[in-house]
Structure 1
Amino acid sequence: MTQGVVLNVAALTDVGLKRAVNEDAVLAESPIFLVADGMGGHDAGDKASIAVVEAFATLGGSAVTTADIGAALARANEAVSSIAAQHARGAGSTVAAAALVEHDGVPHWLVFNVGDSRVYRHLGSALDQLTVDHSLGQELVDAGELRPENLAGFAQRNVITRAVGAADSVADSWLVPVIDGERLLICSDGLSGEISDESIRATLTMCGRPETAAEALVRRAKEAGGRDNISVIVIDVVSGGAIASGDGTTDSRLASAVRTESMLEGTTVPVRRGG
């Protein structure tokens, strides 16, 4: 069934304005679309993100299962752990991804993340953040110790609590039906840390082609300061998914889009509306 899904995809990564080395890496080869943001400095961070991409690269061009994704995550964790052991500062990487899988005979996105790189869904004019950051700031928000509106001003908001290659590398994952007309955005925090969800939503709404949207998002992040590497993948579902009706509702196959399902030993959480 997933072979019948037609996509338009654009991927773009940029060093930004402040960094000497791009420690991000991207993979955009159906059925796997992935952004990795390396940590560990110029001598290790780029190696870590590339190792994550290499662990998943063998999945491109063929049908995949949740077991395939889990095995690739294990390979990535082993590879990054090996890199960390060779560097005094250690190494790690975030990962955020969406993989086309078949579930109950229907195409779904298996969305997963480790760290604070994100996956968003844009449908109509609405933006939903499908992933939940593994960061100190988000954990304090979830615990009720920090108000969401104060998160942007919290100095330690970007301290990562999970990473590939770290002691806690468990991925959270969600099974989300593929919808005709939807647009997915996968990005590193070089984008989401520089511009607001509302700015992301507006850009995805206004830009037609994925290439145009990707270029506009990177440009806006750089205009806002470009303090980190910036990576984006924009995916448009042309056909082959479920049909959204004109009044914004969807057929019964989309019920799990608001009651997401963990598939990779992660926790179950609802889809969250960005903005």
Structure 2
Amino acid sequence: MTEGIVLVTGARTDVGRVREINEDAVLAQHPVFLVADGMGGHEAGELASAEVVAAFQPLVGRQDVEPADVVDAVAAAHAAVARLSRTHARGAGSTVSGIVAVVQNGVHSWLVVNIGDSRVYRLVGSTLEQLTVDHSVVQELVDDGRITRAEMSTYPGRNVITRAVGDQSSAADYWLAPIVTGERLLVCSDGLSNDLSDEALRAGLSLGGSAQQTAHGLVDQALARGGRDNISAVVVDVRSGGLAQRADEVTGGFATSAEATVHTIDIDTHTSERQRARRD
């Protein structure tokens, strides 16, 4: 809960039907809701995703998180996974994607963060929107018009990512989004989004179950479709305290309200007070 904003959450992670180790890790404790998908083979991927979660753990329970605090957490995750990578012959890395309830200029918002190809979606009414943009080879092919979005989940090499936690040159992307009463957000690893189409995700999120039931149901659907990868889902419902949905939102999105627009912010180059203090 943040200053009257009431959230209900649910989370599930599963090894899937093919992999022997679950390299996904989730954090679903206010104000941080994220999924990390580790890579590196053997125990390295599992350890890498755990390091990402550990880097964000200090934000849990706080009501005063600012965007700079999230930048600090990303920097800490990069450093921890880089140290881990140096101890493994094949290296180690992770994705991270999630939402953090932050305060900026006295306004409470979601800060969406992404490195890699885990994803954040938002359901408002009957409209599902992907808030993140994948850092992957197939996303670049879609951007270039060489394949369609529908072909992403089956394209050879779909799991090749272009940014990863642990690679200091892999900057995170950030977006500020309004916290809207009645919205439902999904944070998931690619094990879910590769097995379930956008329409299947929208339908699963719209069934009316609780956040926990929905997280379990989505993972069950991915398992039924083969469970080729580790599968993780975090579902967040905004029950009250956010911006009110408006009558003009019948087709989804925020058609006219500037305050309710999801927009990219460039905070990766900002230096927080703590970062400056550490250098001084």
Deviation at 1:88, TM superposition (A): 0.6
1:157 and 2:158 aligned? yes
- Check the 8 A contact 2:66/2:104 in 1, yes or no: no
Q: Distance in 1 between matches of 2:155 and 2:30?
A: 37
Partner of 1:33: 33
Partner of 1:99: 100
| TM-score normalized with structure 1 length | 0.91
Q: Which amino acid aligns with 1:72?
A: A
Partner of 1:252: 257
Q: Distance in 2 between matches of 1:214 and 1:185?
A: 9
* Cα gap change, 1:8 to 1:149, in 2 (>3 Å): closer
CA RMSD in angstroms, aligned pairs only: 1.7
Aligned partner of residue 83 in structure 2, secondary structure: helix
Partner of 2:122: 121
Q: Which amino acid aligns with 1:11?
A: A
Partner of 1:139: 140
Q: Distance in 2 between matches of 1:131 and 1:27?
A: 18
1:110 and 2:115 aligned? no
Map Cα deviations across residues 223-271 of structure 1 (whole Å, 9 max, x no partner).
Answer: 00001111110000001100012442667354423xx1224339xxxxx
Q: Distance in 2 between matches of 1:34 and 1:10?
A: 12
Deviation at 1:158, TM superposition (A): 1.8
Q: Distance in 2 between matches of 1:255 and 1:233?
A: 23
Q: Which amino acid aligns with 2:92?
A: A
Aligned partner of residue 17 in structure 1, secondary structure: coil
Q: Distance in 2 between matches of 1:227 and 1:149?
A: 18
Q: Distance in 1 between matches of 2:258 and 2:10?
A: 27
| TM-score normalized with structure 2 length | 0.90
Aligned partner of residue 47 in structure 2, secondary structure: helix
Q: Which amino acid aligns with 2:5?
A: V
Q: Where do 5+ consecutive residues of structure 2 fail to align?
A: 270-280
Q: Which amino acid aligns with 2:241?
A: G
Deviation at 1:167, TM superposition (A): 5.0
Partner of 2:186: 185
Q: Distance in 1 between matches of 2:212 and 2:150?
A: 32
Q: Which amino acid aligns with 2:81?
A: V
Partner of 2:220: 219
Aligned partner of residue 114 in structure 2, secondary structure: strand
Q: Distance in 2 between matches of 1:57 and 1:160?
A: 25
1:208 and 2:209 aligned? yes
- Check the 8 A contact 2:71/2:268 in 1, yes or no: no
